[in-house]
Amino acid sequence: MTQALVLGRRALLEAWRTPEALVPTLFIPLFFLVVNVGQAGKIFPSQSTEFLHGQGYGAFQLPSSLLLAGSFGTAALFLVEDIEGGYFDKLRATPIPRTAIVLGRLIAELAKGVLIAVAVTVLGLIFGITIASGVLGFVLLVLLTALWSVVFVGFMQLIALKTRSAAATNSGGLIFFPLLFLTPNFVPRDMLTRPMEIAATINPVTYVMESLRSLILVDLDWRHIWPGFLVVAVLGAIMLALNVRIIKRYD
């Protein structure tokens, strides 16, 4: 575990020293938040829209921005740089468990995910969004977003380790966009058309989004909160297992 933490620290330093890679992670989710609220805010006035629970439409949209912020997977692109530059082999030539190499990056992603989620949420608070579930809800909101970013980076790392190509890894990241739009992104699930509702119900991202939304709009409602955490736990375990498997077989 020590080696994973040492490598995690190095991955955080890498992110800190590449601010140009962090800026889009904050800017693009906030851009979508502003644009979506600007386009649909008048359709859903807070006083007469039941699903907003008295808040503005920005509060309903914040989970989409949080998920988007957690779905950049830049750590996987740094991994490709390590592979292409030979540093990955340098790490593989040390007597550390192979799992430490992937775990280090995932630990760093968790820490980075926490910081990004805090930044996006605090900006939301400044613009009048409130977290109805209070301080505990805020912590859960940040934790769930950060765990989602770990899942997503785990997925991106799989592509990076398999293809060893920055282009392929970058393209792999685009898979999130259809998943984000096959969710109750603009309205609750029961207001979607039947085919979209079925698609959203199958899509695991929906449950993460609904958990986040529940934490923002209503007090701690565990019926809506636990499915999101279950999704990240299951997907996280799958990604970790696949990452470990692929790095152990890496030639």
Partner 1 sequence: MDDGIAVSAEELVKHYKSRAGVIEAVRGVDLRVESGEVFGFLGPNGAGKSTTVRMLTTLLSITSGSAHVGGVDVARDPDAARRMMGVALQEAGLDPRQTGRELLVLQGRLFGMSQHAAAERTDELLALVELEDAADRRIKGYSGGMKRRLDLASALVHEPQILFLDEPTTGLDPASRLTVWDEVRRINGRGTTVFLTTQYLEEADQLCDRLAIIDGGRIVREGTPDQLKAELRERLGLTADPTLDDVFLDATGRTRSREEGDVQEVTA
Q: Which residues bind partner 1 (CB under 8 A)?
A: 2-3, 6-7, 10, 13-14, 17-18, 82, 85-96, 251
- Locate 2 and state its tokens: 């020590």
Least distance from partner 1 to the Cβ atom of residue 94, Å:
4
Least distance from partner 1 to the Cβ atom of residue 169, Å:
18
Least distance from partner 1 to the Cβ atom of residue 91, Å:
7
Cα(251)–Cα(241) distance, integer angstroms: 18
Helix, strand, coil percentages (3-state) for the chain, rounded to 5, are: 80, 0, 20
Least distance from partner 1 to the Cβ atom of residue 118, Å:
24
CB nearer to partner 1: give 95 or 195.
95
CB nearer to partner 1: give 63 or 73.
73
CB nearer to partner 1: give 31 or 248.
248
Burial annotation 183-216 (CB, 10 A radius, 16+ → b, else e): bbbbeeeeebeeebbebbeebbbbbbbbbbbbbb
Three-state DSSP at 130 gives coil
Least distance from partner 1 to the Cβ atom of residue 249, Å:
8
Residue indicated by tokens 């907003």 = 52
* Distance in Å from the first CA to the final CA of the chain: 24
Residues 6+ apart with CB under 8 A from 189: 197, 200, 201, 206, 210
Cα(117)–Cα(241) distance, integer angstroms: 25
CB nearer to partner 1: give 11 or 209.
11
Is the Cβ–Cβ distance between 110 and 149 less than 8 Å? yes
CB nearer to partner 1: give 5 or 143.
5
CB nearer to partner 1: give 14 or 197.
14
